Amino acid sequence: MAEHTPQVEADRRPTVIADDLHIVYRVNGARTGKGSATSALSRILRRGEERGVRKVHAVRGVSFVAYRGEAIGLIGSNGSGKSTLLRAIAGLLPAERGKVYTDGQPSLLGVNAALMNDLTGERNIILGGLAMGMSREEVKERYQGIVDFSGINEKGDFITLPMRTYSSGMAARLRFSIAAAKDHDVLMIDEALATGDRKFQKRSEERIRELRKEAGTVFLVSHNNKSIRDTCNRVLWLERGELRMDGPTEEVLKEYEKFTGK
Amino acid sequence: MTAAPSPDEGLTAERLAARYGLAVSGARPSLAEYVRQLWGRRHFILAFSQAKLTAQYSQAKLGQLWQVATPLLNAGVYYFIFGVILHASRGMSQDVYIPFLVTGVFVFTFTQSSVMSGVRAISGNLGLVRALHFPRASLPISFSLQQLQQLLFSMIVMFVVAIGFGSYPGPSWLLIVPVLVLQFLFNTGLALIVARMGAKTPDLAQLMPFILRTWMYASGVMFSISKMMEGRSELAVRLLQVNPAAVYMDLMRFALIDGYGASNLPPHVWAIALFWAVVVFAGGFVYFWKAEERYGRG
């Protein structure tokens, strides 16, 4: 089912290889619905290998090879394991079984987790840049670019205010601007397109196209079939953690749309 | 499913990866490489610790003034309970006992809060661990560094109290620097150890306060070990005195307080201080690194 035409035969260098990848989350204290102390105690007392731990098998035996120059869309219903798969490719989630081989260090577009709401936008730009692995000089160099791109200062000097005072749209814009300031080898985008107002969306789509050109391989997770069509030439369709289909965008999307009843 | 072109046809994933020089994603780097990566992230480690420190009091009206006010209030409470109500000074004069107590409280708090934040360093920052790449040891190290900066603020209070009770700055105050360096190394090692344990068993964060409180009462924060243990066997006194928390506290008091002489220190105290710092830091670092590829699993 995956007879997609390679773009340039000679240039088919693999950048990401997933080999029978399994990812399992372990959730503490979620075995039974009851959260009471007595049920927790009985769980501990009950003999068993993993007491009180529930396993969630999020990705089940996914294998594929991605090549340089490909833009790969990941589709599937909510909870089908798309984001988990991305994190595993990035080496952020340890695999239960199987392996992921990559060329260079794939990076996830996003710095949300490193930013602190109590700090000013200014300090968050520096912190976020450093967290993504930029040097101090690089951050200094790109600082003004990030501020301008985010458009935070268009309505006054907001960058020197704590981030908790921003509207949700403004905060999302700043987060995207920081995340998109770095170039990547293998770039992974998790529904980052839908942030901010119309004007900012256009600007960020443009920036993602730029990043795509610079990056070797791009992965995009999105529920918006249009943005998948616009950016990707290959699509992986995940359902319940299994790879249901892998092929050229149009072919897979047609099947997917039939499946979702659109 | 792979649809590989002819030369790569039939290769296993492993062979294909080897052919094009692909590496296993998320594999643990060698120890030397790990140290190198960590050094590359030094600016992030420092910025993260400072950010945490600032964010702590950013909602309060008095703002960063709390950096100094919190330790001062702490010292006041301990003085009221142990100095005024319980008379734990045991023959020490007020001029010695109050700086003795304040120094003990601050120095022990440094270790205590490094361990407490170390336990949650990975388990409390799973979002960060699952979103970005960096050597995970950055987190516990950064939290210890935050506590060191907090202690430097507390030192202001410590100096004021010492001077207020007649211990004036002298050459012995220079000893504060090596003591701080050694204690910081020890704390960081300890934070790295509990960070790995806390990543596997988050329940440790609930248990830790009790362990730390026991440790505090056994380390002579509010009383002098040698005076409290008078009449007990020499061995018991020595055992309590070589406990790392007691060693760093006593060295700091010795450096700072005029009336607290070398007679209060166990023999070979500097060697013991160095031993704890090097062994716990190196051991903790290697222990943490050994599980590097496993952090982030839910």
- The model's confidence at residue B166, banded by pLDDT at 50, 70 and 90, is confident
> Measured over all CA atoms, what is the biggest interatomic distance in chain B, rounded to whole angstroms?
89
Sort out which chain B residues have CB atoms less than 8 A from A65's CB and list them.
2, 4, 13, 16
Task: Using the predicted structure, report yes or no on whether residue A5 has a pLDDT greater than 50.
Answer: no
- Domain-located, residue B4: no
Q: In which band, very low, low, confident or very high, does the pLDDT at A117 lie, cut at 50, 70 and 90?
A: confident
Which one of B14, B16, B44, B295 would you mutate to disrupt binding with A, by most A Cβ within 10 Å of its Cβ? B44
Q: Model confidence at A7, in pLDDT bands (50, 70, 90)?
A: very low
Give pLDDT, residue B3: 46
pLDDT of A34 > 70? The answer is no
Residue numbers of the domain that contains B211: 30-294
The whole-model pTM stands at 0.84
Q: Are residues B103 and B158 in contact, defined by beta-carbon separation less than 8 angstroms?
A: yes
> How does pLDDT run across A124-155, given as a tens digit for each residue?
999 999 988 889 999 999 999 999 988 888 87
pLDDT for A8:
44
Nearest CA in chain A to B203: A28
3-state secondary structure of A97: strand
B8 inside domain: no
What interface predicted TM-score (ipTM) does this complex get?
A: 0.80
B253 contact partners, CB below 8 Å, separation of at least 6: B99, B100, B103, B104, B260, B264
| Coil/strand/helix, residue A28 | strand
Task: Specify the pLDDT at position B240.
Answer: 85
Q: Which residue of B has its CA nearest to A135?
A: B43
Residues 81-110 of A with CB under 8 A from B: 87-95, 99-103, 105-108, 110
* B13 within domain boundaries: no
Tell me, yes or no, whether B246 lies in a domain: yes
Confidence band (pLDDT; 50, 70, 90) for B2? very low
- Chain A, 232 to 251: residues with Cβ < 8 Å from chain B are 243, 246
Mean model confidence pLDDT for chain B: 88
Span A39-44, average pLDDT: 64
C-alpha B111, offset from chain centre: 4
Query: Chain B residues with CB inside 8 Å of A133's CB?
Result: 40-41, 44, 132-134
Question: What number is the average pLDDT over the span B34-56?
Answer: 92
Q: According to the model, what pLDDT value does residue B36 have?
A: 94
pLDDT band at B38 (very low <50, low <70, confident <90, very high): very high
Residue A214's pLDDT is what?
A: 77
How far, rounded to the nearest angstrom, does the alpha carbon of residue B72 sit from its chain's CA centroid? 20
Angle at A111 between CA A109 and CA A117, to 5 degrees: 150
Residue B22 domain-assigned (yes or no): no
Which residue has better confidence, A195 or B120?
A: B120
**B154 located within any domain:** yes
Q: How confident is the model at residue A35 (pLDDT cuts 50, 70, 90)?
A: low
CB contact under 8 A, A130 and B47: yes
Calculate mean pLDDT across residues B113-136: 90
The pLDDT of residue B234 is 81
List of chain A residues whose C-beta atoms are within 8 Å of the C-beta of residue B27: 91
pLDDT of B246 > 50? The answer is yes
pLDDT reported for residue B220 = 85
Range in A88-92, A238-242, B184-188 with the lowest mean pLDDT? A88-92
**Quick one: tokens of B200?**
């596997």
pLDDT at B225: 82
The pLDDT tens digits for B76-88 are: 888 888 888 887 7
B104 CB neighbour count, 10 Å cutoff: 26
Q: What is the mean pLDDT of residues A89-99?
A: 85
- Which of chain A's residues have a Cβ under 8 Å away from the Cβ of B200? none
Residue B296 per-residue DSSP state: T
Choose the most confident range, by mean pLDDT, from A88-92, A189-193, B250-254.
B250-254
Total domain count, chain B: 1
Highest mean pLDDT among A39-48, A52-61, A182-191 belongs to A52-61
Å between B277 CA and nearest CA of chain A: 28
Residue B1 located in a structural domain = no
Mean pLDDT of all residues belonging to chain A: 81
In this complex, do A118 and B132 lie within 8 Å of one another by their Cβ atoms?
no
| Number of neighbouring beta carbons within 10 Å of residue B73 | 12
Q: Which of A12, A89, A130 sits opposite B44 (nearest CB)?
A: A130
Residue B6 has pLDDT above 80, yes or no: no
Q: Does residue B234 lie in a domain region?
A: yes
Question: Which range (B13-17, B140-144, B174-178) has the least confidence?
Answer: B13-17
Q: How far does the CA of residue B182 sit from the closest CA of chain A (Å)?
A: 28
The pLDDT-based confidence of A210 (bands split at 50, 70, 90) is confident
pLDDT grade, residue B118 (50/70/90)? very high
Looking at the complex, report in whole angstroms how far the Cα of residue B283 sits from the nearest Cα belonging to chain A.
24
> pLDDT-derived band of residue B250, with 50, 70 and 90 as boundaries?
very high
Q: Which amino acid, residue A95? A: A
Compare A38 and B251 and report the one with higher pLDDT: B251
Out of A19, A93, A113, closest to residue B128 by CB: A113
Residues 6 or more apart whose Cβ sits within 8 Å of residue B261: B254
Count Cβ atoms below 10 Å from residue A143 Cβ, excluding itself.
16
